[in-house]
């Protein structure tokens, strides 16, 4: 016993020495011991842990590289959503952002801004429990990411244990940052891939993202990813003893053991931010890593909380990007599209041009205000770029090259699809068709419903949607669930097998969760992230439909604009009818329940799968009953499944359960367990 205690003390001493040395070397760039000494101490620790495996801890330096490759990554829910940032591409757009947030809080005058270089890497979220790293996850869709903890442990600039001197009572710490590949490392990796005959990485960002998703953490370790921390979340963040500002948070991150990009600046004015942005436009070329802009944040956390979020972005931050690649081309036509919200969007159809590695032939012109601002006409030569390296946009018109016979473009006064008059409400830049029966609005709403982030119905593309609407087979998304193989076979290029697959795909969409259904409804301003936030608060559609607007607005990340839109949507009779039809069709309007109010956890730790048709309960009703009792319900059978609840017409799941020896329950037996 005495020997184990002495060994334990020596192991702890070695861990602290090695942790201090790693922090000095990788974070401070100021080594405190020779490599040979570090190696000697590391080997001693390794030998002791091999001899006494019961003393191995997850924060030990020896645990940075996993010994066995992972078989797959599991999806995890972020404790706090990771929102993307709104982009600005010049100082004028930065000022426009500043004016927008100031309109929300007109009493605010002097503010401070924190300017940080925007690292061109891959965002990750880190969770520390009692100072120990317990989870690392990719950004994913901002709400759900992939658990890459094993790979995160290989990054030397990410501490496995935090320095919480003076903050020992902090149970949980959430850190956000960017994993990236230094340019020299990126160059070496591509040289090695070239010699091995492997495909080269296109850029350091893609290489970093691909590295983080390697199943073998030893490969990740060899690629020497680096990390800059930039966001800190701690329960009680408004406590002045922790931090009240982003500037203080960056300092606290450094004290905790993280590497923070040294190139950040506290600015007292927007002009100072603009100077910082201008300085790094050329100086960034001398950096050892890629940066594509400057992230500007309001320094005060109290002000950040006041401003909140839009559907997609925090109002208190903006990414001020450096100019993307630009190219000239000619406008051959200006078309007007009608979207699912009735918005008329002008679109420049251009002579194809190569831009940032892709061929571009169309670019959005947003609205009539943008057209007037550009004074763009058919026949004009324009400069096009990719906003955020993704969306093509027209930057400016080369009026000196304009043909003499061009005329100003005027937005139509009637919908180009249904012919009904369009309206432009006061204070809005968008012109809309308000005819609820407009075929374009219907087509757009169906395309949104079947999209990947909504109900994800494979095989229902734009062309098929147009056929379904034009042939009168579908008048709302609810009609999709009444389509039969015979109806579909009447369409062009639709054979029996294709019709069967489509009917099956539509049926499978009934299993999509309540959050996806809510997003699929296409409520204005409600994005996929907002939908998940709403369904975490309101577990059923009935709860959300009857919620007060003020209560909806109180959800973190949901502002007044979104709350008003949701509240008003559920007041419309046609929308209430749509919900009723979708419920009858079997769509999910009940969220997964992870806790219960009465504390009854009879099924805690047990995993269930439901198959077949149950005698009295619908599947979602059985699912909720299991979840309320602490159980977990999944869609597929595995060795981790504890029970299979079996109804009539059970399929392959029953066969697999029998192969694996998994316990089977009838509905009656399940209810007996729950009621006992």
Active site residues: 118
With a CB cutoff of 8 Å and minimum separation 6, the contacts of 196 are none
Residue 433, annotated as binding a ligand: no
The beta strands (E) that lie in 86-225 are given as 87-88, 113-119, 122-129, 132-138, 144-146, 172-180
Residue 672, annotated as binding a ligand: no
Residue 61 near residue 45 (C-beta atoms within 8 A): yes
Residue 5, annotated as binding a ligand: no
CA distance 108 to 102: 7
The two structure tokens encoding residue 474 = 């579908």
DSSP state of 558: -
CA distance 158 to 229: 9
Residue 439, annotated as binding a ligand: no
CA distance 219 to 179: 15
Residue 59, annotated as binding a ligand: no
Residue 37, annotated as binding a ligand: yes
Residue 238, annotated as binding a ligand: no
With a CB cutoff of 8 Å and minimum separation 6, the contacts of 71 are 215
Residue 36, annotated as binding a ligand: yes
Residue 627 near residue 593 (C-beta atoms within 8 A): yes
Residue 482, annotated as binding a ligand: no
Closest CA to 88 of 324, 310, 329: 324
The two structure tokens encoding residue 116 = 């940080």
Residue 265, annotated as binding a ligand: no
- Bridge-based pairing of strands 264-267 and 113-119 is antiparallel
Residue 321, annotated as binding a ligand: yes
Residue 418, annotated as binding a ligand: yes
Closest CA to 589 of 538, 552, 547, 530: 538
Residue 497, annotated as binding a ligand: no
Long-range contacts of 8-15 (CB under 8 A, 24+ apart): 8/52, 8/55, 10/48, 11/45, 11/48, 11/49, 11/52, 11/55, 11/60, 14/41, 14/44, 14/45, 14/48, 15/45, 15/57, 15/59, 15/60, 15/61
- Bridge-based pairing of strands 172-180 and 226-233 is antiparallel
CA distance 136 to 225: 14
Residue 84, annotated as binding a ligand: yes
Which positions make up the binding site for NAD(+)?
35-39, 84-85, 116, 139, 178, 297, 321
The binding site for Zn(2+) consists of 415, 418, 438
Instruction: Please give the annotated binding residues, written as ranges.
Output: 35-39, 84-85, 116, 139, 178, 297, 321, 415, 418, 438
């Amino acid at each position: 016993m005495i020997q184990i205690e002495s060994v334990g003390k020596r192991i702890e001493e070695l861990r602290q020495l090695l942790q201090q040395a790693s922090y000095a070397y990788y974070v401070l760039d100021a080594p405190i011991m020779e490599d040979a000494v570090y190696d000697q101490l590391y080997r001693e620790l390794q030998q002791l842990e091999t001899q006494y495996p019961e003393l191995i801890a997850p924060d030990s330096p020896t645990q940075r590289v996993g010994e066995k490759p992972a078989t797959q990554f599991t999806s995890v829910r972020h404790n706090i959503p990771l929102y993307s940032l709104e982009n600005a591409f010049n100082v004028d757009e930065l000022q426009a952002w500043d004016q927008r947030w100031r309109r929300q809080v007109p009493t605010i005058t002097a503010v401070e801004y924190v300017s940080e270089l925007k690292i061109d890497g891959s965002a990750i979220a880190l969770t520390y429990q009692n100072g120990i790293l317990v989870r690392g996850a990719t950004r994913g869709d901002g709400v759900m990411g992939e658990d890459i903890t094993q790979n995160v442990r290989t990054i030397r600039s990410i501490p496995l244990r935090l320095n919480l001197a003076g903050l020992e009572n902090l149970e949980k710490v959430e850190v956000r940052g960017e994993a990236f590949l230094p340019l020299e490392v990126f160059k070496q990796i591509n040289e090695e891939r070239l010699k091995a005959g492997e495909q080269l990485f296109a850029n350091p960002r893609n290489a970093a993202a691909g590295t983080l998703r390697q199943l073998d953490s030893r490969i990740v370790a060899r690629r020497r990813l680096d990390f800059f921390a930039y966001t800190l979340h701690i329960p009680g963040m408004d406590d002045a003893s922790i931090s009240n500002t982003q500037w203080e948070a960056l300092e606290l991150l450094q004290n905790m053991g993280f590497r923070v990009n040294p190139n950040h600046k506290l600015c007292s004015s927007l002009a100072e931010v603009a100077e910082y942005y201008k300085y790094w436009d050329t100086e960034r070329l001398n950096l050892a890593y890629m940066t594509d802009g400057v992230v500007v944040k309001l320094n005060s956390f109290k002000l950040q909380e006041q401003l909140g979020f839009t559907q997609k972005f925090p109002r208190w931050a903006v990414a001020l990007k450096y100019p993307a690649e630009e190219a000239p081309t000619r406008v051959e036509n200006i078309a007007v599209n009608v979207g699912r919200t009735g918005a008329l969007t002008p679109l420049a159809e251009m002579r194809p041009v190569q831009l940032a590695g892709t061929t571009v032939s169309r670019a959005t012109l947003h609205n009539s205000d943008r057209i007037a601002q550009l004074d763009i006409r058919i026949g004009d030569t324009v400069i096009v770029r990719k906003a955020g390296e993704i969306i093509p946009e027209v930057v400016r018109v080369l009026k000196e090259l304009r043909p003499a016979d061009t005329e100003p473009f005027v937005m139509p006064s009637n919908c180009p699809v249904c012919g009904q008059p369009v309206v432009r409400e006061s204070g809005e830049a968008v012109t809309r068709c308000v005819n609820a029966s407009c075929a374009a609005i219907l087509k757009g709403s169906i395309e949104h419903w079947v999209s990947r982030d909504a109900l994800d119905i494979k095989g229902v593309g734009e062309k098929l949607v147009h056929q379904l609407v034009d042939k009168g087979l579908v008048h709302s998304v609810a009609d999709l669930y009444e389509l039969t193989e015979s109806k579909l076979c009447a369409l062009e290029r639709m054979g029996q097998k294709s019709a069967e697959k489509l009917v099956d795909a539509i049926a499978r969409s009934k299993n999509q969760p309540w959050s996806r259904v809510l997003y699929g409804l296409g409520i204005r301003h409600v994005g996929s992230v907002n939908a998940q936030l709403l369904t975490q608060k309101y577990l059923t559609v009935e709860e959300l439909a009857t919620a007060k607007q003020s209560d909806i607005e109180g959800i973190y990340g949901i502002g007044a604009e979104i709350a008003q839109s949701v509240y008003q949507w559920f007041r419309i009779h046609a929308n209430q009818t749509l919900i009723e039809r979708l419920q009858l069709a079997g769509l999910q309007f009940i969220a997964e329940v992870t806790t219960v109010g009465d504390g009854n956890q009879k099924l805690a730790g047990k995993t269930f799968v439901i198959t077949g048709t149950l005698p009295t309960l619908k599947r979602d009703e059985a699912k909720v009953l299991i979840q309320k009792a602490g159980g977990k319900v999944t869609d597929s059978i595995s060795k981790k499944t504890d029970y299979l609840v079996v109804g009539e017409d059970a399929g392959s799941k029953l066969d697999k359960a029998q192969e694996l020896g998994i316990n089977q329950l009838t509905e009656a037996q399940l209810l007996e367990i729950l009621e006992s």
